[in-house]
Amino acid sequence: MRDAYLIGAGQTAFGAFPERSYRELFAEAYEHACERVDGGIEQTDIDEAVVGSLGVGGRQLGLSGPAVTEHVGLHNVPCTRVENACAAGGFAVRQAVQAIRSGMADVVLASGFEVMSDMSGDVTKYWLGVSGETEWERLTGTTFSGVYAQMASAYLDRYDATPEDLSRVAVKNHGNGAKNPKAHLGFECSLDDAVAAPEVAAPLNLYHCCPTSDGAAVAILASEDVVDNYTDERIRVAGVGAASDHVGLAERDSYLGLSATETAAETAYDRAGVDPDDLDFAEVHDCFAIAELLAYEDLGFCERGEAPQLLREGVTDPDGDLPVNTSGGLKSKGHPIGATGTGQVVEVFDQFTGRAGDRQLAEPRYGLTHNVGGSGGATAIHVFENEEVSG
Amino acid sequence: MRDAYLIGAGQTAFGAFPERSYRELFAEAYEHACERVDGGIEQTDIDEAVVGSLGVGGRQLGLSGPAVTEHVGLHNVPCTRVENACAAGGFAVRQAVQAIRSGMADVVLASGFEVMSDMSGDVTKYWLGVSGETEWERLTGTTFSGVYAQMASAYLDRYDATPEDLSRVAVKNHGNGAKNPKAHLGFECSLDDAVAAPEVAAPLNLYHCCPTSDGAAVAILASEDVVDNYTDERIRVAGVGAASDHVGLAERDSYLGLSATETAAETAYDRAGVDPDDLDFAEVHDCFAIAELLAYEDLGFCERGEAPQLLREGVTDPDGDLPVNTSGGLKSKGHPIGATGTGQVVEVFDQFTGRAGDRQLAEPRYGLTHNVGGSGGATAIHVFENEEVSG
């Protein structure tokens, strides 16, 4: 089984760009990623492309993968669109790794895009519940924030946690996002502001919910056989894990964690030969504040019920033991659905190659990305290792 | 690189089943596939699932992959939905092969489903052009049959071919489909009837267009390391090829062939170490009659312009040198978009395991499947070898 290496990654700014087409966004991210391959890369070097997109934006309705890759001149290589709701990008990365490990490709584009700001009323209405379960959640009136609100209610009821703990996620992630020039909501917020925000779906308020964004992100992966041709960096995909779960909350055993994340993390850690303690940073899927708390526990950063303590103690702050969402996360950097998972990989690339500016961590060796579809119906997790940094 | 083997495949009937849910269809195909694994298979044996669906039917809008796999109890394994318009199923098979060859999975479900008969007016309107290019074709009023009609016009203009040659595709495929109990339009049609049918988009008439269908199909693939645990049959995925192209016709160099098919075929033949002459049968993507003619040429069954001759001479009849679409093809068996590509693999399984009933060919060794997305924006091709049959 050949290893896959991350040789370049780039993205557009995330935000509201109703005047820009999805193809234009994709092209910008693609060019950004190519520019950042140290030794340069030719279009003809790319053997395959995987494109993640939810595709609710009503553009190219079928074949949206080939529709964006042809726009950058890649109108010949195998191109597959993958969709696992908000985890489309993470699964695109996983598929790119499989393509390389299979021996069927040496250089693969893992990418994602979404346009969320320029949608018709109907599509927006759909979107509010699109990533939850359709028949028993959306069609009965449950919004997507309502789904996560149920998890937040269960969590606050069960553990020593308060809405203020949820707000700490916003304060931390906005603090990080304010240092990220690509962030959609790149401003700081105080704990007071985050606590006082208007209610969306109790107990979740506005600052407990991420925006949805327009944007695109592209990661370029290469096999161990050819990585030398492109870069001296050695960013290895050390572990990959993925799992699915019941799409609807009501079918699950518990609202206090996502079993897909637990299963995927176990696989990814096992394949990478690491423990959560080995991680130097993580990008986790904080679509709602409660999701970041659950992620800490599902990913083994702490025991059940201890996530608020990590936030209160600053463990996941940029200067803490395990910085989480240095990019700003979905909350501040933004959430262009299909591009979110590959966007997380851009932060990994930035951190490992000293491109993270004011967010730069000191010589990280292991970084994790955690991308969730729906309310946990599918999760993709990757552990990346910077082989230049010794343990 | 480990080889992948086809150990089971099954499907629902294809047809109009507005009273059946997409989950129910998937479950039936899944159970059918599992039953046909000679040595039996447990749900816990399945490491991963790939689900192809266009998803225009308006059911689960995101995460439709996990939504169907959870329904059969597979709510834990990695599950990825892939979509490349009408080639979703073929790309699902390809991704399953990559998963196995990567060493990340031993037993993988490659599947597809679609519900086309129970759609709202809006969705139907979208559908008519959904698999063509959106901005320059659909939104300017070109229907999907209109797109293929342009290719048919170009072909009839350029070569010694008539609308009657197009009708021969319908006669042959309906003749085959009449022997397939799973076919949507399982009746014979005469050449006179096929020629006299009402016009849809000149020069294409009703018998030059396939129906769209409800249905699901599942193929189960296993690595060479574990195939012995499941079956004594040895149906190897000998070659895989895929490619993309400009989604819209206007951007292409020629209307007289699909370059994605040519490229994908070259790869698949090369990897399988075979020539078109070695094939004993093929399932090709005959969404419109012209598509089957172009496929003969793109796949190297004959020279450019000679496809009508193959039909006139009966070369691709069931008793010809290279039977094509013994299942009935999209024209007669039906076209449940995301399930079509995996449905082709069911025919391969039937032919290789003596389950094809009145359609049974005598000891085929090599069979090809050819699945096209849109008007050729993406193509996936597989060459299967029955290793029990010596050359």
DSSP string, A143-179: -HHHHHHHHHHHHHHHSS--HHHHHHHHHHHHHHHTT
- Rounded CA-CA distance A205/A196 in Å is 8
**What pLDDT, in 10s, does the model give residues A19-74?**
999 999 999 999 999 999 999 999 999 999 999 998 865 567 789 999 999 999 99
Q: Return the residue of B nearest to A54 by Cα.
A: B62
Q: Do the strands A204-205 and B199-201 form a parallel or antiparallel pair, or are they unpaired?
A: unpaired
Cα–Cα distance for residue pair B66/B111, rounded to 1 Å: 12
Rg (CA), chain B: 19
Structure tokens belonging to residue B161: 């071919």
The active-site residue, picked from A32, A34, A79, A86, is: A86
Stretch B150-172: mean pLDDT = 98
Which residue from A349, A360, A356 is spatially nearest to A230, judged by alpha carbons? Answer: A349
3-class SS of residue B220: strand
Give domain limits for chain B. 4-120+212-235, 128-209+238-331+355-384
Closest chain B C-alpha to A280 CA, distance in angstroms = 26
Closest CA relative to residue A208, chosen from A248, A173, A180, A176: A173
Closest CA to B385 of B365, B362, B368, B370: B365
Considering only CB atoms, B1 lies closest to which of A56, A103, A374, namely A103
Looking at residue B132, the DSSP 8-state letter turns out to be: S
In this structure, of B60-74, B120-134, B262-276, the range with the lowest mean pLDDT score is B120-134
Nearest Cβ partner for A78 among B85, B100, B242: B242
Known active-site residue A86: yes
In angstroms, the separation between the Cα of residue B347 and the nearest Cα of chain A is 24
Residues forming beta bridges with residue B5, ordered by sequence position: B222, B236
Q: What's the burial of B270, exposed, middle or buried (CB within 10 Å: 0-12/13-18/19+)?
A: exposed
For B330, residues 6+ apart whose C-beta sits below 8 A from its C-beta are B210, B285, B286, B287, B340
CATH classification (class only), B4-120+212-235? alpha beta
Side chain identity at residue B87, one-letter code: A
Rounded distance, CA B341 to CA B352, Å?
17
**B86 assigned to active site:** yes
Q: Which residues pair with B369 in a beta bridge?
A: B283, B382
**Binary contact (A66, B259; C-beta < 8 A):** no
Backbone angles phi, psi at A367, to 5 degrees: -130, 145
Inter-chain contact A74–B98, Cβ cutoff 8 Å?
no
Inter-chain touch B244–A81, beta carbons under 8 Å: no
Chain-chain contact of B79 with A84 (C-beta, under 8 angstroms)? yes
The predicted-structure confidence for B291-331, as pLDDT tens digits, reads as follows 999 999 999 999 999 999 999 999 999 999 999 999 999 99
- Tokens representing residue A61 in the block: 């309705």
8 A C-beta contact, residue A352 and residue A235:
yes
What homologous superfamily does CATH list for A132-211+240-386? Thiolase/Chalcone synthase (3.40.47.10)
Q: Give the confidence band of B123 by pLDDT, cuts at 50, 70, 90.
A: low
Mean pLDDT of A367-383: 97
β-strand A199-201 against A204-205: which pairing, if any? antiparallel
**Which chain A residue is nearest to residue B91, measuring alpha carbons?**
A80
Alpha-carbon distance B355 to nearest alpha carbon in chain A (angstroms): 31
Distance from CA of A301 to the nearest CA of B (A): 22
Task: Please name the residue of chain B whose CA is at the shortest distance from the CA of residue A91.
Answer: B80
Minimal Cα–Cα distance from B251 to chain A, Å? Answer: 10
In tens, the pLDDT along B362-383 reads 999 999 999 999 999 999 999 9
Rounded CA-CA distance B280/A144 in Å is 52
Name the residue among A60, A99, A246 with its Cβ closest to that of B247. Answer: A60
A202: its two tokens? 């109790």
Residue of B nearest to A372 (CA): B63
> Can you tell me whether residue A49 is helix, strand or coil?
strand
Q: How many angstroms separate the CA atoms of B235 and B390, rounded? A: 13
Q: Which residues of B53-69 are buried (b: 16+ CB within 10 A; e: fewer)?
A: bbbbbebbbbbbbbbbb
CB contact at 8 A, A286 and A329 = yes
Contacts of A245 in chain B (CB under 8 A): 66, 70, 75-76
Option in A76, A98, A373 nearest B63 (CB): A373
A254, burial (CB in 10 Å: exposed 0-12, middle 13-18, buried 19+): exposed
- Among A3-17, B61-75, B203-217, the range scoring the smallest mean pLDDT is B61-75
The ipTM, to two decimals, is 0.96
Residue A334 CA to residue A209 CA, distance in Å, equals: 10
A346 pLDDT higher than 60: yes
Contacts A377 to B, Cβ<8 Å: 63, 66-67, 70
Instruction: Quote the pLDDT of residue A101.
Output: 98
**Superfamily of chain region B128-209+238-331+355-384:** Thiolase/Chalcone synthase (3.40.47.10)
The C-alpha atoms of residue B154 and residue B158 are separated, in whole angstroms, by 6
Would the CB atoms of A244 and B77 count as touching at under 8 Å? yes
Segments of chain B assigned E as strands: 4-11, 48-52, 79-83, 107-114, 199-201, 204-205, 215-223, 235-244, 281-283, 366-373, 378-386
Q: What is the mean pLDDT of chain B?
A: 94
